[in-house]
């Protein structure tokens, strides 16, 4: 049975047990409506590198990944590059890497 969960942020996504939810709507990267949220699904077979934007590791499972549903655009906020974040050069680089 598939479950759809709505949670507040990426930190909650990483702590969510994939056995409890296969599809998740995240309200924001750190806070609701900060632009870094989105929809994710659990890919039990994924071994993709974790990029903290499109691919996240679960704290419950060593194998498998939380993956962002594909969209037409790459948004730096998906990688945690938020106006209140200070130096976001690392997050910007990860977003650029996702473009290639």
At 1, is the pLDDT very low, low, confident or very high (cuts 50, 70, 90)? very low
pTM score: 0.90
Residue closest to 17 by CA, chosen among 37, 44, 48: 44
At 98, is the pLDDT very low, low, confident or very high (cuts 50, 70, 90)? very high
pLDDT greater than 60 at residue 88:
yes
pLDDT greater than 70 at residue 85:
yes
Q: What is the pLDDT of residue 2?
A: 63
Q: What is the pLDDT of residue 21?
A: 74
* 3-state SS, residue 14: helix
pLDDT greater than 90 at residue 5:
no
* 3-state SS, residue 93: helix
Q: What is the pLDDT of residue 19?
A: 80
pLDDT (tens digit, 9 = 90+) per residue, 15-72? 999 987 789 999 999 999 999 999 999 999 999 999 999 999 999 998 999 999 998 8
CA distance 26 to 92: 21
Q: Tell me whether residue 72 is exposed, middle or buried, using C-beta atoms within 10 angstroms of its C-beta: 0 to 12, 13 to 18, 19 or more.
A: exposed
């Amino acid at each position: 049975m598939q479950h759809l969960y709505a949670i507040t942020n990426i930190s909650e996504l990483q702590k969510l047990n994939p056995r409890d939810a296969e599809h998740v709507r995240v309200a924001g990267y750190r806070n609701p409506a900060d632009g870094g949220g989105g929809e994710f699904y659990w890919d039990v077979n994924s071994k993709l590198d974790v990029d903290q934007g499109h691919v996240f590791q679960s704290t419950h499972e060593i194998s498998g990944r939380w993956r962002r549903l594909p969209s037409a655009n790459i948004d730096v906020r998906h990688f945690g590059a938020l106006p209140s974040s200070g130096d976001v050069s690392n997050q910007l680089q990860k977003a650029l890497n996702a473009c290639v």
